[in-house]
């Protein structure tokens, strides 16, 4: 399915070229903030609609309360967990969702997200999506960064950057965009892991809501840059 916006320009980047540019700039980011696959899964859940800095504070609070383990999170009363999660906002909702995710991980995988890899990736994803409060971005983050399974993560940074680059329609369905990346790239977990990391960092530091196109390594072929296009 064609997910590109119609344009008369033939000088846009391709999806692999964007990665090569970003990687050449920053190197391999070895990214997902989390010391263990379980911490990765917890972070992926808590970061829904929340800045990562708040998630870091909540993770530290969980550690300080000796709650960052499957067993501890399964047994802590939900109201008590909600108080610990105050830094992330929507803390009551997230306490309920985190309890549901942890219950699932204990039942399916002895609390270890890496064991999700015993299923084919789409089957593991479907099981995660049946857990209360787990959407596609959260599920795919757990699968890619926690289980090491090949699935590309789409987030708001991806939509913003690739929409401005006129490579994708940012309003398309999540799975249409995910498939566009997976079709354009070799099926390589390490590459997909680092690609999403590069997108996040570029979206935070350069292609911000008010883009810093003068500092951007993609500006020469970006229709969203004032240097080359409409500057939208």
Q: Residue count at the site for ligand SF4 (CB under 6 A)?
A: 14
For the chain, give percent helix, strand, coil, nearest 5.
60, 0, 40
Q: Which stretch binds ligand SF4 (CB under 6 A): 113-121, 128-136, 144-152, 219-227?
A: 219-227
Residue 200 sits in the site that holds ligand SF4 (CB under 6 A): no
Read off the tokens for 209: 């809501």
Contact residues for 180 (Cβ-Cβ < 8 A; gap 6+): 1, 3, 15, 168
DSSP string across 175-204 = HHHHHHHHHHS-S-HHHHHHHHHHHHHHHH
Residue 207 sits in the site that holds ligand SF4 (CB under 6 A): yes
Which of 132, 166, 168, 136 lies closest to 153 in space, CA to CA? Answer: 136
When the beta carbons of 66 and 171 are compared against ligand SF4, the nearer one is 171
Residue 167 sits in the site that holds ligand SF4 (CB under 6 A): no
Residue 147 sits in the site that holds ligand SF4 (CB under 6 A): no
Residue 224 sits in the site that holds ligand SF4 (CB under 6 A): yes
When the beta carbons of 125 and 164 are compared against ligand SF4, the nearer one is 164
Residue 164 sits in the site that holds ligand SF4 (CB under 6 A): yes
When the beta carbons of 23 and 115 are compared against ligand SF4, the nearer one is 23
Query: Measured between alpha carbons, how far is 51 from 32 in angstroms, rounded to an integer?
Result: 14
Query: Measured between alpha carbons, how far is 142 from 101 in angstroms, rounded to an integer?
Result: 11
Among 95, 165, 180, 197, contact with ligand SF4 (rule: CB under 6 A): 165
Residue 199 sits in the site that holds ligand SF4 (CB under 6 A): no
Binding mask 177-196 for ligand SF4 (x = CB under 6 A): --------------------
Residue 219 sits in the site that holds ligand SF4 (CB under 6 A): yes
DSSP string across 87-128 = GGSSHHHHHHHHHHHHHHHHHHHTT-GGGGGGS-HHHHHHHH
Q: Which residues bind ligand SF4 (CB under 6 A)?
A: 161, 164-165, 206-207, 211-213, 216, 218-219, 222, 224-225
């Amino acid at each position: 399915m064609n997910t590109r916006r119609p344009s008369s320009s033939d000088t846009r980047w391709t999806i692999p070229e964007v990665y090569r540019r970003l990687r050449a700039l920053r190197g391999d980011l070895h990214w997902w903030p989390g010391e263990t696959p379980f911490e990765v899964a917890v972070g992926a859940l808590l970061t829904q609609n929340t800045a990562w800095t708040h998630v870091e504070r909540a993770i530290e609070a969980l550690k300080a309360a000796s709650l960052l383990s499957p067993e501890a999170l399964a047994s802590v009363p939900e109201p008590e967990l909600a108080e610990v999660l105050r830094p992330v906002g929507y803390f009551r909702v997230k306490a309920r969702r985190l309890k549901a995710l942890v219950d699932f991980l204990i039942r399916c995988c002895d609390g270890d997200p890496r064991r999700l890899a015993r299923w084919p990736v789409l089957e593991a994803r479907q099981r995660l999506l049946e857990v209360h409060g787990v959407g596609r971005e959260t599920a795919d983050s757990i699968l890619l960064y926690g289980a090491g399974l090949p699935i590309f993560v789409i987030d708001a940074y991806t939509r913003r950057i690739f929409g401005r680059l006129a490579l994708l329609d940012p309003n398309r369905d999540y799975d249409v965009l995910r498939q566009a990346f997976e079709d354009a790239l070799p099926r390589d977990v390490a590459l997909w892991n680092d690609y999403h990391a590069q997108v996040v960092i570029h979206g935070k530091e350069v292609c911000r809501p008010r883009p810093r196109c003068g500092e951007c390594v993609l500006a020469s072929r970006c229709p969203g840059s004032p240097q080359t296009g409409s500057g939208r």
